Structure 1
Amino acid sequence: MEDNIYSGMGNDARIEGKVLQAFEKNFVQVQGILDQNRLLINEISQNQTSKIPDNLSRNVGLIRELNNNIRRVVDIYADLSNSCAKSMEISDEGESKSDERGGQKRMRSSS
């Protein structure tokens, strides 16, 4: 029966590892997009300040790119949230299954 306890713990660790890898990957991706947005905002601001017609018309495309980047960030966070929720469901299912197999969870006594 102890083998089941340890194998369950291994599954939890693998799930947590995958979740952490997904977080890290997504946060690195988001940071890259946010860095790009900072550059876009600076260029848009400079173009606006210059009041040169060509620069002002270029801002239309830059603002579209900025909006698309913001949408990408929102999508990444939505996907990350869904992945996290799914991993929590899997973890909760694993805990309830181990409870059904003989109460493998142990409660610490307060004494």
Structure 2
Amino acid sequence: MEGDIFGDVSTPALQVDSRIIQAFQKNLLEAQDILDQNRLLINEINQNHSSKMPHNLSRNVGLIRELNNNIRRVVDLYADLSSSCIKSQEASSEGDSSGTLKSDGKVSQKRTRIS
């Protein structure tokens, strides 16, 4: 990725992290675009409501549906980010003896056997 702040990534662990970071960036940018679009929709909905013109008020029905669908998309994007973050954390702590956070929020202690 040109202009990437992480530069050239050569080790496999860093390549995985780079892919995860790129996915985060992509999802965050997509979420931001949708949120920007929502701001415009909300402004239009407010203007239509203030006008009290029947045509504008009926148009709000479709705009509100679009707004709701956009909100669902943002929630899905953030859920994907959260899931990716948890998977990344689990993968990076596999060899670690410090314990990991399970999906139910409890810490699972791993023991390292010394021979």
Q: TM-score, normalised by structure 2?
A: 0.71
Equivalent position of 2:53 in the other structure: 52
- 3-state SS, counterpart of residue 70 of structure 2: helix
Instruction: Report the count of equivalent residues.
Output: 90
* Percent of aligned pairs with the same amino acid: 64
After the TM superposition, which residues 1-111 of structure 1 pair with which residues of structure 2 at under 5 Å, given as runs? 10-95=11-96
Residue ranges of structure 1 left out of the alignment (5+ in a row):
1-8, 103-111
Take 1:47 and 1:14, find their aligned partners in 2: how far apart are those partners?
49
Specify the code of the residue in structure 2 equivalent to 1:36. Answer: Q
Deviations, residues 1-49 of structure 1 (Å, cap 9, x unaligned): xxxxxxxx93331222112101110111011101110110011011001
Greater helix fraction, Structure 1 or Structure 2:
1
Specify the code of the residue in structure 2 equivalent to 1:48. Answer: H
Q: TM-score, normalised by structure 1?
A: 0.73
Take 1:89 and 1:70, find their aligned partners in 2: how far apart are those partners?
29
Q: Which runs of 4+ in 1 moved over 4 A?
A: none
Relative contact order (alpha carbons < 8 A, sep ≥ 6): 1 or 2 greater?
1
CA distance change for structure 1 residues 13 and 95 in 2, over 3 Å: closer, same or farther?
Answer: farther
Q: Point out the structure with max Rg over C-alpha.
A: 1
Specify the code of the residue in structure 1 equivalent to 2:84. Answer: S
